Amino acid sequence: MTADPIHIVGGGLAGSEAAWQAAEAGAEVVLHEMRPVRGTDAHQTDRLAELVCSNSFRADDWEANAVGLLHAEMRRLGSLILRCADAHQTPAGGALAVDRDGFAEAVTRAIASHPRIQLERGEVAGLPPRDWTSVIVATGPLTSPALAEAIGRLTGEAELSFFDAIAPIVHAETIDMDVAWRQSRYDKAGPGGDAAAYINCPMDRDQYEAFVDALLAGPKSEFKNWEHVPYFDGCLPIEVMAERGRETPRFGPMKPVGLTNPHRPDVRAYAVVQLRQDNALGTLWNMVGFQTKLKHGAQTEVFRTIPGLEKAVFARLGGLHRNTFINAPKLLDAQLRLKAEPRLRFAGQITGVEGYVESAAIGLVAGRLGAAERMGAGLQAPPATTALGALVRHITGGHLESGARSFQPMNINYGLLPPIEAPPRTEGGKKLGKLERTRAKKRAVADRALADLAEWSAPAHAELAPGP
Ligand SMILES: Cc1cc2nc3c(=O)[nH]c(=O)nc-3n(C[C@H](O)[C@H](O)[C@H](O)COP(=O)(O)OP(=O)(O)OC[C@H]3O[C@@H](n4cnc5c(N)ncnc54)[C@H](O)[C@@H]3O)c2cc1C
């Protein structure tokens, strides 16, 4: 290997994709993977891109599903992860599921046989050496402790999390504002001057009691025995709060004080669920204090009993896991580089995206940006109208910070993409129904994304793979 290489730390979903993209773009790459020299609590093999749990890459419909759109964009950019997933599919209806062994074996073989990639097995047990001038850190949710501690020292410990505490996020347009209303407690203006920063959903006593019963009875996910997730007082799961006392949520995140319901000013709510704006676009709202271990199906069912959220569509459901990730919106620049030390670029789950596909997607972008920088070409991240660009935008500034640890891992969803108007009628002039309009809107978002992606990738990457 002659030219100064890009060092990629971690050969998971993100690191393997980053290595492939950088090498295909002409850069020399050294990929450092610690397994099998050192294991993690979840991985079982020495293969690259091992799937530690489910074998699903989720919905594969580019016209009607945001993760399907991400698949389509990645395929168009020659993603190794998508190519190997496509080659090792198992039947899963509209989802893309894979034979995990065949998939990981194919990724490992492709990386090992690439002439510009050198695979080194061993832990990078601290900050990468100074003479590694271009590095992509893609060590994932189970980053080894020695490296995680070094990153924590560099970023400031408050900016590195070892656990996520995820509250559900709702698409704004699905909140019933004939029931809910905008107001901050005591009309207090925040730093931005907004005295109506929250959306409030009121409950009467019967609704609250039924809600607490449902929280207590709902099925919960178990922690893995190695996770050792502590409950911090500031982010107790809502159902654990209810277990501590039926009234505890009402004296915590659901307290009804300082709020007047303009729809029924003479009735004082018994409890209130508040939602706070989560992204700069204003399309996503976070249920304040609602981190939870309830299973996903139960969350949808229970949270839709909240007045105003009966028809809520969730962009993200809640959770609590062992997970290493940085406060990316504060720490990273638009090139995914650490502002404090730009030779270090980050990719994958450690940047605060969630999921196999999202992690690989950030790896894809980081690999291309790293290679372009190495080769002196100016390349920006994909536009925010693409699913790839929307994810990058979210983790590099799209999320609105609202207090310590407000940034929590995020899946791709339509709320991250700039809204678009759907045509009210078909080309033939027929008025579209609500469902048809939603479908048309998603299709319009997808068409815009693929057109903008083609333009972004055109000069440097003229040979696009066939369309979705
Ligand atoms: C228990 C568990 C279950 C999950 N289940 C799902 C699921 O069902 N579906 C889903 O979409 N997502 C799931 N996730 C999230 C999933 O891990 C990520 O979506 C995805 O694997 C992240 O990709 P990544 O490349 O960022 O990290 P990983 O795929 O974890 O890759 C990181 C790699 O870095 C290596 N590494 C770590 N530290 C070092 C070091 N210091 N030096 C060298 N190498 C190092 C690791 O060995 C690993 O191979 C789960 C996560 C966990 C922890």
Q: Which tens digits make up the pLDDT trace of 130-167?
A: 999 999 999 999 999 999 999 999 999 888 988 888 89
Other Cβ atoms less than 10 A from the Cβ of 377: the count is 14
Give residue 435's pLDDT. Answer: 87
Ligand 1 mean position, distance from CA 152 (Å): 18
Ligand 1 mean position, distance from CA 81 (Å): 14
Query: What distance in Å separates the CA atoms of residue 366 and residue 86, rounded to the nearest whole number?
Result: 22
Query: What distance in Å separates the CA atoms of residue 201 and residue 285, rounded to the nearest whole number?
Result: 12
Query: What distance in Å separates the CA atoms of residue 370 and residue 385, rounded to the nearest whole number?
Result: 22
User: pTM to 2 decimals?
Assistant: 0.92
The residue written with tokens 């229970």 in the block is 302
Residues framing ligand 1 (Cβ under 6 A):
9-15, 32-35, 40, 42-43, 52-54, 123-124, 138-144, 147, 348-350, 355-356, 359
Nearest residue (by CA) to ligand 1, atom 20, is 356
Give 102: exposed, middle or buried? Use CB within 10 Å, 0-12, 13-18, 19+.
Answer: middle
Give residue 461's pLDDT. Answer: 47
Give residue 459's pLDDT. Answer: 66
Residue count of the chain: 468
Ligand 1 mean position, distance from CA 322 (Å): 11
- Coil/strand/helix, residue 90: strand
Could you give phi then psi for residue 141, rounded to 5 degrees?
A: -65, -20
Interhelix angle 356-374/13-24, rounded to 10 degrees, is 30
Query: What distance in Å separates the CA atoms of residue 171 and residue 193, rounded to the nearest whole number?
Result: 24
Give residue 402's pLDDT. Answer: 73
Which of 53, 54, 81, 353 gets mutated to test ligand 1 (max ligand atoms within 8 A of its CB)?
A: 53
Q: What is the dihedral of CA 143, 147, 148, 150, to 10 degrees?
A: -170
pLDDT digits (tens), the chain, 468 positions: 557 999 999 999 999 999 999 999 999 999 999 999 999 999 999 999 999 999 999 999 999 999 999 999 999 999 999 999 999 999 888 999 999 999 999 999 999 999 999 999 999 999 999 999 999 999 999 999 999 999 999 999 888 988 888 899 999 999 999 999 999 999 988 767 777 889 999 999 999 999 999 999 999 998 887 777 777 766 789 999 999 999 999 999 999 999 999 999 999 999 999 999 988 899 999 999 999 999 999 999 999 999 999 999 999 999 988 899 999 999 999 999 999 999 999 999 999 999 999 999 999 999 999 999 999 988 999 999 999 999 999 999 877 777 777 888 999 999 999 999 887 888 788 888 888 999 999 999 999 999 999 999 986 544 444 444
> Which atom of ligand 1 is least distant from the CA of 362?
26
Ligand 1 mean position, distance from CA 95 (Å): 21
Ligand 1 mean position, distance from CA 358 (Å): 12
Give residue 392's pLDDT. Answer: 98
Condensed to tens digits (0 to 9), the pLDDT of residues 346-364 reads 999 999 999 999 999 999 9
- Give the distance from CA 410 to its chain's centroid: 2
